[in-house]
């Protein structure tokens, strides 16, 4: 069965699609998540903000500037999180630093074309407080 691109809605026979899981938190703290599939053409059109996020993380650019417009976000931060699965690649996680206006614009095609995922807030867990042999590596934060 050929899957359809979430954006152009075309079946892409023989072409593998990428998958992106987008999430953000509403003002009341509720987590909202969406899944979209992208063909290569739609990914090139819809995902340039991820390239900017990757470039900003790799360089010494100001991490408090909005990735879309460059404005300062210290007073108006509205991040969006994305886990991107490209065919044949390891998953990539992105935290998009955006101001509220740019975040709202980015959410429109996601909510218009994506599949809303069920709320998993109740099943999300934080770090375990148990001590294991892995703690001996010294890679865990020290409590105290």
Cβ neighbours of residue 64 closer than 8 Å, sequence gap 6 or more: 72, 73, 74, 77, 97
pLDDT band at 36 (very low <50, low <70, confident <90, very high): very high
Q: What is the pTM of this model?
A: 0.78
Q: Is 42 exposed, middle or buried (0-12, 13-18, 19+ CB in 10 A)?
A: buried
**DSSP states along 88-118:** TS--EEEEE--BHHHHHHHHHHHHHHSEEPP
DSSP run (H or E) holding 44? helix 40-46
Rounded to an integer, what distance in angstroms lies between the CA atom of residue 118 and that of residue 128? Answer: 24
Q: Which tens digits make up the pLDDT trace of 47-90?
A: 888 888 878 777 756 678 999 999 999 999 999 999 999 999 99
């Amino acid at each position: 069965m050929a899957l359809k691109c979430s954006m152009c809605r075309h079946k892409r026979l023989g072409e593998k699609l990428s998958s992106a899981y987008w999430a953000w938190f509403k003002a009341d703290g509720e987590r909202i998540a969406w899944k979209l599939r992208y063909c290569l053409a739609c990914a090139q059109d819809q995902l340039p903000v991820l390239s900017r996020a990757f470039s900003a993380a790799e360089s010494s650019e100001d991490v408090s500037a909005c990735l879309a417009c460059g404005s300062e976000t210290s007073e108006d931060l509205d991040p969006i999180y994305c886990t991107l699965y490209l065919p044949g690649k390891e998953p990539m996680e992105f935290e998009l630093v955006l101001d509220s206006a740019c975040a709202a614009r980015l959410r429109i095609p996601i909510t218009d074309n994506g599949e809303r995922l069920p709320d998993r807030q109740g099943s999300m867990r934080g770090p375990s407080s148990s001590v294991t042999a892995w703690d001996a590596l010294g890679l865990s934060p020290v409590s105290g």
